[in-house]
Structure 1
């Protein structure tokens, strides 16, 4: 193994070993991952274009959705191309600095994803509990500032991961049993004391995930109280139906994320490595793949705009040439 110098024991590169125990079926594993990635890229870019081009969708809820789609594209693109190169071409080597950069982007965009889901919950809270003030509270300026603050929160909290990981000595080797570089996967192969890394990782999870889930829970508690107080059953159903897609997005984002987080720290040997690594890939891919599909099916305005867009394409004379 090559090191930058003998005293720091910093490797020139790491070897991402893919999915341990499933080396013989790497090619077959790659097909569903590639399919999901293709759906994620196509669906999210399509949704962003639709929201941009259709004036009827220039509303706070849909602007937040476009921000979620943008985050989804960046989140899955930070790992999937590299993962597919490992599974298809056995290109396992990654430069040390590139590994740290990938770690930074993975955790920044997952934090951003959580933050956008929290902002969308607050959007639903204002829309249902204060409908007359919705347009004045959630202006374009407020949305832009909220999105920027969410991004900066992730950047400021994730930057220390790179420094904490860079300081560690890697005298045990440079093989990472994973398909991409994340904080604890890299830290675990170090021969140094990773207690600070583990504690800081837990603190970041609480500051981002814990805070966002608390805000989401409070928002939906208030929403539920407001919906229950409505006199008409039809009004209650209509009000709550605007939240179903968002609730689904929360579930498919946080369940795999929590599984990955807790198995890294508390799973020990009880969970096979290949299960953990597959779930770690799914927690980046699943929300990106499913969000545009769910919102396309569950959101009436988006369905209407998609139908109109498709009909407009059929009516275009150039299609008959």
Structure 2
């Protein structure tokens, strides 16, 4: 049993690492695209802020660990968690290869649901609806609208400013907004791995309740931070350049809006929302204030397809993993 728990924890950290390099673009793509930060400086800053953000709370971890599925005790429960992680990793790697900014969060949720269904286990559908599906629909809409409104306010407030001076000023401001976005990414995404590790400890009989031990916070934060520093250049190009040509004011507005939505969802609703969806919709919102044709809607459409497919695709991958693994240990 001890070996199985250790294996699940190691795979969870592997998922956390892929989450980091897959979602690194969330925090820094706009800052790199507008030349507010160089890529390596941006990655180092994002890795540090991811590390710090992981220590800001554990509410989302509790939701992931106890509010999505009812995993059975013992080795069967560990196989469910392991299969969920494998399904999420597979989908992360597929979307990374094609440069699609899909949600690592939803890949993990989909993996948990798919593995639970494959094992004939219980899925807390009310929790999935309230904490995953509704936020998945609402958060991009909120990000799009608020980012557009903030950009309109910036355009009006600085309408008489000198363009060159404003560009320099907003490049400096983007350093702060990118750091805030990376902090929010650490707050949200590291907690999802914490929740899965605690779930593995509980079903393995090594932990009671869903309070997160300090060492789980530490290793989850470290794996996410290391993955972030490894970078995610394919997805960074999609968010920073292919979808819209960003300038510093729009980059600032997108990052500031997305980070505010991340903090609100974590601290107020304990909802594991997607950092990818939030920043992408915010970029679309600021881009639409320029003119609708400024957004490359074909690229945005491909991203939307990946969003829709993430949960079912990760669920199917996790179910297949369970069907392959379970006979080996039963």
Determine if the TM-score, normalized by the shorter chain, exceeds 0.5. Answer: no
Give the number of the structure with larger relative contact order, counting CA–CA contacts within 8 Å between residues 6 or more apart. Answer: 2
Answer with 1 or 2: which has the greater Rg.
Answer: 1
Q: TM-score, normalised by structure 2?
A: 0.29
Q: TM-score, normalised by structure 1?
A: 0.29
